[in-house]
Structure 1
Amino acid sequence: MTKRYGNRLALHDVSLRVDPSECVGIFGPNGAGKSTLLRVLSTLARPTAGRVRCCGLEMPAQASEMRRLVGVVGHQTYLYDDLTVWENLDFYARLYGLRDAGDRIRQVLDLLGLGDRTEERVRALSRGLQQRLAIARAILHRPRVLLLDEPDTGLDREGRDRLASIIGEQVRLGGAVVLTTHAVEFGCQVASRVLFLDRGRLLWERPASGDLVDELERQLRRRA
């Protein structure tokens, strides 16, 4: 796929396939096109050229159906500051038509360690707790695909461990995950495959491993 913003080429002929039970980590320097790629995959932006397919559906014709299959964590939390933790998730549960809304809300709050925060307003939460709630929102409707743009931002060690467990469970149950992160070690821990982008181009991809951490960090420093 290719994505242009005016004369600026944000993505150039990027081809990506993510299979069920797979987590793909995307790395690259700032401005490489990582967030743009996830915006296109999540239907928040249309490719200038190329196609996006998800679970047999194709964008843009079936974009609304695709959104119901996808959970997104982006740079914005998509939470309502004046609503409580519970009210935010209840709003999204109604949006997705969840029949077991109450049970599912309690389940995802427990997964993120927010079970005792249900009556707190979002604006009163720390940045890290807001990020946990954004993750809870993204997994609430049991999406088949998780698109996570720097989901570890603001998380403490416990929060990152909870996120890693959620990603692992998504993969174990046959779902797919695509994530970007500046935390190279964390990304290589949760991903099974790693892609490297720079200036909108996919330069290489390799199986994820602990041995890849130093190489990734060297390349990121070199291209900073």
Structure 2
Amino acid sequence: MTDPAIELDGLTRRHGEREALSGVSFALDPGASLVVFGPNGAGKTTLLRVLATLLRPHGGRAKVLGKALPDEGWAVRGRVGFLGHASLLYRDLTARENLRFHARLHGVERDRVEDVLDQVGLRSRADDPVHTYSRGMVQRAAVARAVLHDPELLLLDEPTANLDPHAVEVVEPLIGAASGRTRVITSHDPVGGLKDADLALGLRGGKAELLAPTTAVTAAMIGELYR
């Protein structure tokens, strides 16, 4: 038997007196994908930030890639790729400079920087400052940053936001199911989200209202989370 890539048991996280996550539990197998649905404020981004070791749990148990959070978070960070709403890129640096900086942080060879620039279609603009990019180009550069160190786990907060259909196709091999990585993805798209994952989690008010294989979930069931 293979240990889960992610295992949560009663995970709780508070923002002040409000519980952003309340008793959330699930297990996700290595190589599988979880899609997380829910209205704004449901706790989706908070969940990703806890899994990325950016926020500490306030209750329950959390294990990511076999390591207990928060005590062993140091052993997880280099194995996770996080793509949030913020690009985590320096706007006055070029895409190439940003990626070389992150490559040094992760001990990645420079050749890898050129490879991912090619893969996201930014080689021709790699020496332009990020602040000159369109929102879609910034998102592609952020994808390149998130996968630069070949992470085992991808945490993706609405990853195709700001991308046109062609750009979605470009980044699919890196962050889609074809990447073979374990993934946790937040989405507001029931059809696309269910198609792209193995397990669905529905959050509302920080609580898990739905947890089932995507084959057993319908768009109508997801819609109920937003009512």
- TM-score between both structures, scaled by the size of structure 2: 0.89
Give the Cα–Cα distance (whole angstroms) in 2 for the partners of residues 144 and 221 of structure 1: 32
Say if 2:83 and 2:156, in contact at 8 Å, map to a contact too.
yes
Q: Secondary structure at the match of 1:11?
A: strand
Q: Say if 2:42 and 2:206, in contact at 8 Å, map to a contact too.
A: yes
Contact persistence 1:108–1:140 (CA under 8 A): yes
196, 216, 219: which is aligned to 2:224?
219
CA gap of 1:93–1:87, structure 2 versus 1, over 3 A, is same
Normalised TM-score (structure 1): 0.90
The amino acid that maps onto 1:4 is R
Q: Compute the RMSD of aligned alpha carbons.
A: 1.7
User: What is the SS of the residue equivalent to 1:2?
Assistant: strand
After TM superposition, the structure 1 stretch with the greater mean CA deviation from structure 2, 203-212 or 118-127, is 203-212
Following TM superposition, by how much is the alpha carbon of 1:214 offset from its aligned partner in structure 2, in angstroms? Answer: 4.2
Whichever residue aligns with residue 208 of structure 1, its letter is T
Deviation of the 1:200 alpha carbon: 0.6
Letter in 2 for 1:29: P
- The Cα of 1:54 is off from its aligned counterpart by 1.7
For residue 99 of structure 2, the aligned residue among 64, 73, 89 is: 89
Contact kept in structure 2, 1:4 and 1:11, CA below 8 Å: yes
Equivalent of 1:41, from 37, 51, 68?
Answer: 51
Q: Residue type matched to 1:192 in 2?
A: D
> Between the two proteins, what is the percent identity of the paired residues?
42
Tell me, yes or no, if structure 1 residue 140 matches structure 2 residue 148: yes
In the superposition, relative to structure 1, how do residues 126 and 170 fare at CA in structure 2: closer, same or farther (>3 Å)?
same
Counterpart of 1:81, as a letter, is R
Residue 169 of structure 1 pairs with residue 178 of structure 2:
yes
Cα deviation for residue 185 of structure 1 reads: 2.4
Mapping 1:48-59, distance limit 5 Å = 48-59=58-69
- Mapped partners of 1:141, 1:48: distance in 2: 29
- In terms of fraction of residues, the more strand-rich structure is 2
2:39 match: secondary structure:
coil
Matched, 1:208 2:187: no
Taking the TM superposition and a 5 Å limit, the aligned residue runs for 1:52-131 are 52-98=62-108, 101-131=109-139
Q: Which amino acid aligns with 2:104?
A: R
SS of 1:133 mapped into structure 2: helix
**Cα separation, 2, equivalents of 1:124 and 1:182:** 29
**Which one-letter code corresponds to 2:66 in the other structure?**
G
Which is worse superposed, 4-13 or 201-210? 201-210
For 1:9, the equivalent position in structure 2 comes to 19
Q: How many residues align?
A: 216
Judge which range, 154-163 or 133-142, deviates more: 154-163
1:23 paired to 2:29: no
Cα drift, residue 146 of structure 1: 0.3
Task: Give the direction of change, closer, same or farther, for the CA distance of 1:203–1:220 in structure 2 (3 Å limit).
Answer: closer
Following TM superposition, by how much is the alpha carbon of 1:50 offset from its aligned partner in structure 2, in angstroms?
1.7
Unaligned runs of 5+ in 1: none
Partner SS state of residue 25, structure 2 = coil
